[in-house]
């Protein structure tokens, strides 16, 4: 499979997000397939994307709960894009989940920017993290290859310097656990090539047919996440 190279998104590519209607309809019609692998009480934290709250991941979390996992949101309200600040705020909740699980490792699922936060959380708690699953997350380039690039630029962020900083971080502090990165060529908010991790050996990429906004609704994404969590357990 030829993997796409990351590039900046055009405004027209946002129109791909019409597929969220398809994802919503498929989610409502299909529910939870009977053949999905189940968990046995393992703990999972799901982190929302930029601008979203735990409400945006509720469908995915509820379905993982029904599959047998102990599932939590991040419980920090709206994700406003302050990764370093939110990491410090998230640590006590993560540590409490880890302790409640009998100090067994916790799996992290992050949608979009939530996947970036999940990766950094895993670096801070390497022995407490089982694995990371990212859903349409920009793993390279910082926000450079995302729809939010112009917003970050207006806040004064140097996009080129941010990209270099991300690359340096990946080289000096490798991700300490397995990673599954889900990406979609229909994603109109994060270029699919930005979800390809070129740095680490213990990573698997899987293409799904989902909009960006529909990642937490798509039955195909649910199947991929459930399969990965069961394999990890």
- Cβ pair 110, 119 in contact under 8 A: yes
Q: Does the residue 3 lie in any domain? A: no
Read off the DSSP letter of residue 78. Answer: S
What was the pLDDT predicted at 112?
A: 97
- Cβ pair 88, 192 in contact under 8 A: no
- Cβ pair 30, 217 in contact under 8 A: no
What was the pLDDT predicted at 1?
A: 52
Task: Give the C-alpha separation, 137 to 117, whole Å.
Answer: 10
Read off the DSSP letter of residue 181. Answer: E
Using pLDDT thresholds of 50, 70 and 90, give the confidence band for residue 2.
Answer: low
Cα-atom radius of gyration of the chain, to the nearest Å?
16
pLDDT at 232 over 80: no
Task: Give the C-alpha separation, 211 to 215, whole Å.
Answer: 6
CATH number of the structural domain spanning residue 98 = 3.40.50.1820
Q: Does the residue 1 lie in any domain? A: no
Total number of domains in the chain: 1
Q: Does the residue 156 lie in any domain? A: yes
DSSP bridge partners of 106 = 129
Q: What is the residue range of 219's domain? A: 17-25+39-232
Q: What is the pTM of this model?
A: 0.95
Q: Does the residue 210 lie in any domain? A: yes
Read off the DSSP letter of residue 203. Answer: E
Q: Can you tell me which residue has the tokens 């699980």? A: 101
> Closest by alpha carbon to 195, among 46, 4, 17?
4
Q: Can you tell me which residue has the tokens 């959380």? A: 121
pLDDT in tens, 127-180: 999 999 999 999 999 999 999 999 899 989 999 999 999 999 888 898 999 999
């Amino acid at each position: 499979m030829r993997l796409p190279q990351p590039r900046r998104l055009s405004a027209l590519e946002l129109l791909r997000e019409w597929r969220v209607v398809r994802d919503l309809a498929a989610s409502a019609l299909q529910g939870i397939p009977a053949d999905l692998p189940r968990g046995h009480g393992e703990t999972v934290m799901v982190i929302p994307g930029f601008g979203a709250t735990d409400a945006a991941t509720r469908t995915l979390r509820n379905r993982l709960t029904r599959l047998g996992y102990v599932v939590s949101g991040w419980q920090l309200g709206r994700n406003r894009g302050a990764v370093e600040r939110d990491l410090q705020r998230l640590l006590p909740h993560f540590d409490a989940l880890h302790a409640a699980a009998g100090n067994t490792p916790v799996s992290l699922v992050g949608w979009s920017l939530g996947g970036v936060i999940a990766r950094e959380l895993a670096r801070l708690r390497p022995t407490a993290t089982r694995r990371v699953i990212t859903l349409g997350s920009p793993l390279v380039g910082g926000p450079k290859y995302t729809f939010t690039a112009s917003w970050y630029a207006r806040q004064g962020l140097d996009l080129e310097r941010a990209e270099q900083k991300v690359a340096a971080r990946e080289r000096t502090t490798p991700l300490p656990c397995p990673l599954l990165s889900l990406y979609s060529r229909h994603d109109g908010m994060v270029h699919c090539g930005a979800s390809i991790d070129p740095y680490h050996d213990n990573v698997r990429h899987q293409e799904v047919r989902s909009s960006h906004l529909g990642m937490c609704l798509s039955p195909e994404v649910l199947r991929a996440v459930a399969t990965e969590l069961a394999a990890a357990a």
